[in-house]
Chains A and B, each alone.
Chain A
């Protein structure tokens, strides 16, 4: 008995020791549960790609709220100091406002595009790799044009917490390389047969690699065209890339919104209500009512000079006695003189208040709306142009490419090519407005009815449009481009305006290229009398955490935003 117990004890200890030994070696497998059961940690690129398309408009629209005021697409109707500051080419200190392009570059796109590119190359999904690289090139282009020096080479580096900024020339060369890589992959049709193709998850072009290729060429064209003030500028390359880029409205890069809830609705629509302070400027009103392009102030007599696009882009007031059909605008930093008045119907008809209240500048969401008519509800009743809950957001259009080509050809002295591209650009913008169908059931951009052929023909043959190549001026091209990009192409327009230092004169005609464009009467106090030339990097990314690098660049100076970027310098 005693012996038996002893034996039992012994075997027990042996068992215990062997269990411990076995468990210590077999445990690594038991511990292998660090894989998220509800979210994939190595997802298929087709699951990541849609998030990147959705991320695209975010940065552009968030920061578009501010840049659109620098370029006078919009100005504030209020007298609020913070709003006026943007109109006056200032910024808000210690704030993330106008830091969303930065966010998009590094954490919206950032590692996600990197993941798409690296994974798809590994899996021989060349279309994903190409599309990912094209978007990566595009966002770096936006970011450097916006901020000048940016994090490029050290971006996403794992083992550092401070990042060096690269100068703009370095970034430009880098974008060139990324674009070429994108083009190489998009041209490779030797896909792995076992993997998903781009059509899964791509709701811009439905996986059409040809169209992505055109988009990639468009980015390359932008990259080459920005240095018009430099001796190294090569117009032929720009024309070459434009010719390979978006050719018609069906090539336009548009991002759709499902508009079922806040997170998938257009940031510029009524539901999300982000343009409530924004009003059309007098500058765009005068471009569309004929004043600027014909040189004759709008009046009832010159009604035929009105651009048929005006009623689709702009909002009219109740009072239509101003000579252009009731389209009024505001000047930057001034506000709407009648903004403080209540709704016109609350006053006795015929009184001054009644009359003035009917002259208020309309909100972007519709004629005779002076505030958001349906904030926080999903109404499709109110939509003007791109400002609807389910209206797509353009990223690049054929029309933009046309005007880029026109300017390049014009600079080269090839006026015929320039003229053809100029005419095509206007036509493409009419087509853009008239577009009937959109991805994911998006709503049309036109108001109620499309522009009729007769209206369009009348405009093309009218005083706003130059009728031959010899009379074409740089202003014609740039102002028509301004119209075509109004309401969405804020960043491109800002590049254009900065290339012409806002108010440069056309050396050929002696007229200001952006005819009628005036800097705000009062510039923001920190500007020291200079217009804005760059945006300060995102506050809660760089000013808080990467300050030493900003100090090196002068980013801590209050007027850093007035430093001219490399691209527009000679």
Chain B
């Protein structure tokens, strides 16, 4: 039903829009912009002097703009000299652009609050990407399209499943326990990027943020609406955005309508995807223990639930072995349609986009459906006043599967290879059981098909965002800018544990539902002054910003179903029902100013400051100042334009040096922790007790990050090669951290200040225009980054800090120590003597584990390179993005799990006798003459060699990972204009094929090292690099057409 409705809407809209083609009746001028060789140039900005009217040329170099006789058109584009043309009575013109030098610095980028700045004098590195480039990657979550394209961005999808959230951290995690994700800003106002935190939901006994994912809400942006994406990492930009931008900002501008002939464009994409990296399991030995087959034999690794253990004898000869993993996954399919209409007069412009996407995931029963539409209108109220408004609506429905321990993936890998996994349900609708003898429903894992079919969960988003951007050019040197936005959405969802499922059996089914309503309102106003005195060009921006954010989450849970297969809260036992509400309201008020000047466009200085008031620091009990200040100072020097530098270095076309220092403050990541934090109790008598896991602290102060960075930009050989290098040094002190320490504090976890974290790194962007001939162009961009983080001091002098969300299996977790990296992994290790030899028990011949969490791994990547190649041959365009990663640890928790249950291929050598190298724990182990171990173990007969957590520890499954992966590749072909002119109504068309995650070459032995054990709501370093129960990224092929009418 849903699908037909959506298709209908799509058709209806198309019908509605096509007649609109005829409306543009004012005097407009058509033109084409070409090179001297007559090759059309796309993306040339065409503007009418003295007005706000502007457009840019299409792929075929054509443009159309409204004009009055006597006005002057200006044509500008990177790499070309700017051209002007006064328009008389002609209706068509042809412009020939001349390649120029050094015009790239005239490009402007969008910075804070919708301000623009010339790139030439910019005192920090800011990468700007074109929205189309990201949209072309055809990612469901466009944030994944940024992988490899942004130097210094660490982007980790939590899995390859539909609706999975993606974590993005710029540079390094500066906050050990706070939120490290950047602020998303769309058209000058913040865009919410929350991921639901399971701590805020009911019934979360198995640990938060590991068994379900709710998406990250920045994914709601339709990538086809994005014009540009600017990544701000430097101190100045974040100083202006305040505490919300302390971890950087991703500033997005959306496409606007252009005056002139209305244009309708349509594109589509059809996608097929599949899983090509499967968990590898042994299929030699069957279920049992100590070499004796027993088809009901179970183990229970780390009490995560009893599962089959495969320590029996070999499968009897002739046993049919099923490839269950491949039988389970299916080919994912999706389709996407985008329809855009834009046009306008010299007074008003508008743009409408409608997008529809439908996906069936590689996991059966999963998928999503998205409808988004955006209407943007601009109007020139007076020649000096302009108002642009937009209204965007997104609806997404995601059908999800479980994740982590007990999820379908674990059910699948543990499923016996001698049984056909596709045979999962009895004719009467009950679960098929395979463990003979002890056929209790809680005594064996669900068949994965049962799990995905019966244990359903779904999320539904309804999101509306409104923005209004107002510009008033009060005078030539002063203008006012106001950005207003309302971002409103509700996310609802449910999850079911079927009464006949393993986890649902004892409770006779559970049903949970939630609704999150988020309403963010923000406004910022700024005055811009620009005035030149002689060779001094001055600019001052002063303004204020307000943010009002409110998120409310209501959840309900019930147990004990009446009807076995009916999913509703009303189908649960009334006395089992429970409800929970969490509401967070936050307000920020900020005053900011940025004064910058330059001398003769050679020497630039910029000073920025903010004073911010943060409601999260307000107390009703104690007198507390919610305000704090921060700022930055930066400078750049275009040394290539000094004196005769250029003359003496003719190969140097541009050279800039920059240096900056700045601070940013960050309040607590959640409200209500200054005054008492109580929580509702459901023990007898009810009432409120202190929240033992969120101890309040009256003396909490904002944490500060100090950033010193310097770098430069060099361009050689007429801009054929450009190199941008930044070196940064971030020091974050007075960290706000939800610290565990002695219960003597009165809490298990309490918010405290303290500690010092350093992140140092280097980011470079290299661009080479390798070939630039008439018909063939080859452009290469390489983004390189390296970050080294170190915890210099722990808050409160505490010995350690760990993130319990990341403790998903065994004893491995993200844990900090002084001297370790913020991406440190800690786990138990085997006991060693003073000499470092493994100490072996004289009775078992196995080592013992020490119950101390030790530093065992660092998930920090040595360096990453994103290599983007772009080839252009006549009408063909090929671009691809290869990402390289060198070093950095990933914990293969999945392999450890397989090892403990006898499914790992590492257990195939079980019939070979083994003597573990070490010394006996006989009292002499620390003497000068320890007794070497000589106890022979044949693991086949002694499965404790695998199952006892001491003979191999978590740390043995850490892998130092390198990879080279083809993140995306697109081949497109522009249908020649000659062909199109015959159709009369199609002005341009192209066809394309895009592949994502086409291949990966890696030394990693698991499914996919680029996953996250948690969803994106976890803070600090999170579960990045902990591989436990996450699906690998599927390989996908898209194809489609783009047509412009």
Contact = CB atoms under 8 A, between A and B. Distances in A.
B2 interface: no
Nearest to A256: B684
A375 B506 CA distance: 9
A155 B744 contact: yes
Given A34-B618, A107-B692, A39 B678 contact: yes
B682 interface: yes
B22 to A, nearest CB: 39
Prevailing SS type, chain B contact patch: mixed
B665 to A, nearest CB: 15
A258 interface: yes
B1 interface: no
In the complex, which range does the number of interface residues on chain B fall in?
A: 35 or more
Contact of B589 (A23, A50, A163, A258): A23
B618 A110 contact: no
Given A34-B617, A36-B672, A41-B678, A9 B689 contact: no
B796 interface: yes
A350 interface: no
Contacts, number: 216
A48 B689 contact: yes
Interface in A93-111: 93-94, 102-103, 105-107, 110-111
Nearest to B802: A544
A3 to B, nearest CB: 13
Contacts of B672: 34-36, 39, 41
B690 A112 contact: yes
B1003 interface: no
Interface stretch (B99-107, B472-480, B911-919): B472-480
A256 B684 CA distance: 8
B1017 interface: no
A477 to B, nearest CB: 34
Given A35-B672, A36-B672, A47 B745 contact: no
Interface stretch (B608-616, B963-971, B1023-1031): B608-616
A263 B744 contact: no
Nearest to A27: B589
B799 interface: yes
A40 B747 contact: no
Contacts of A371: none
A258 B743 contact: no
A94 B618 CA distance: 40
Interface string B968-985: 000000000000000000
A38 B581 contact: yes
Contacts of B619: 34
A30 B613 CA distance: 10
Contacts of B611: 24
B835 interface: no
Contacts of B931: none
B686 interface: yes
B88 interface: no
Contact of B674 (A9, A34, A255): A34
Interface stretch (A51-59, A76-84, A134-142, A528-536): A51-59
A419 interface: no
Nearest to A257: B684
Contacts of B800: 544
Interface stretch (B110-118, B178-186, B648-656, B734-742): B734-742
In the complex, which range does the number of interface residues on chain A fall in?
A: 35 or more
Given A33-B615, A38-B581, A541 B525 contact: no
Contacts of B741: 161-162, 545-546
B679 interface: yes
B618 A33 contact: yes
Contacts of A349: none
A135 to B, nearest CB: 13
A13 to B, nearest CB: 7
A31 B548 CA distance: 9
B478 A51 contact: no
A41 B615 contact: no
B507 A51 contact: no
Contact of A107 (B682, B746, B796): B746
B38 interface: no
A154 B744 contact: yes
A31 B692 contact: no
A16 B480 contact: yes
B685 interface: yes
A546 B744 contact: yes
Contacts of B721: none
Contacts of B740: 540, 544-545
B686 A12 contact: no
Interface in B846-882: 851-852
A216 to B, nearest CB: 21
Given A51-B681, A161-B752, A261-B682, A9 B475 contact: yes
B679 A33 contact: no
A34 B745 contact: no
A183 B1017 CA distance: 50
B677 interface: yes
B742 A151 contact: yes
Interface in B651-696: 671-672, 674-690, 692
Contacts of B576: 261
A53 B614 CA distance: 38
A43 B688 contact: yes
Interface in A373-389: 375-376
A538 B748 CA distance: 12
Residue among B587, B616, B698 having the largest count of chain A Cβ atoms under 10 Å? B587
A258 B684 contact: yes
A115 interface: yes
B499 to A, nearest CB: 13
B583 A263 contact: no
A159 interface: yes
A111 B747 contact: yes
A16 B587 contact: no
Nearest to A105: B743
A107 B747 contact: yes
B527 interface: yes
A38 B679 CA distance: 9
A16 B525 contact: yes
Contacts of B643: none
Contact of B744 (A37, A163, A544): A163
A201 B611 CA distance: 46
Contacts of A54: 681, 683-685
Contacts of B525: 16
Residue among A31, A163, A258 having the largest count of chain B Cβ atoms under 10 Å? A31
A115 B696 CA distance: 13
Contact of B685 (A30, A51, A156): A51
A42 B621 contact: yes
A122 interface: no
A171 B616 CA distance: 38
Contacts of B797: 161-162
B948 interface: no
Interface string B273-314: 000000000000000000000000000000000000000000
A59 B578 CA distance: 25
Contacts of B697: 158
Given A31-B613, A102-B743, A540-B740, 16 more contacts: A13-B478, A33-B671, A34-B620, A34-B674, A39-B677, A40-B678, A41-B620, A54-B683, A107-B692, A110-B743, A151-B744, A154-B744, A162-B797, A375-B506, A544-B740, A545-B740
> What 4 A-B pairs come out closest when comparing CB atoms?
A50-B685, A94-B851, A54-B683, A161-B796
Interface of A: 9, 12-13, 16, 20, 23-24, 27-28, 30-43, 47-55, 93-94, 102-103, 105-107, 110-112, 114-115, 151, 154-163, 201, 203, 255-258, 260-261, 263-264, 375-376, 440, 538, 540-542, 544-547
26 contacts: A9-B474, A13-B527, A20-B542, A20-B591, A23-B544, A24-B589, A27-B589, A30-B587, A31-B626, A33-B618, A33-B671, A36-B678, A38-B581, A38-B583, A39-B672, A50-B684, A51-B688, A51-B689, A52-B689, A54-B683, A55-B683, A102-B743, A107-B747, A111-B690, A258-B684, A261-B576
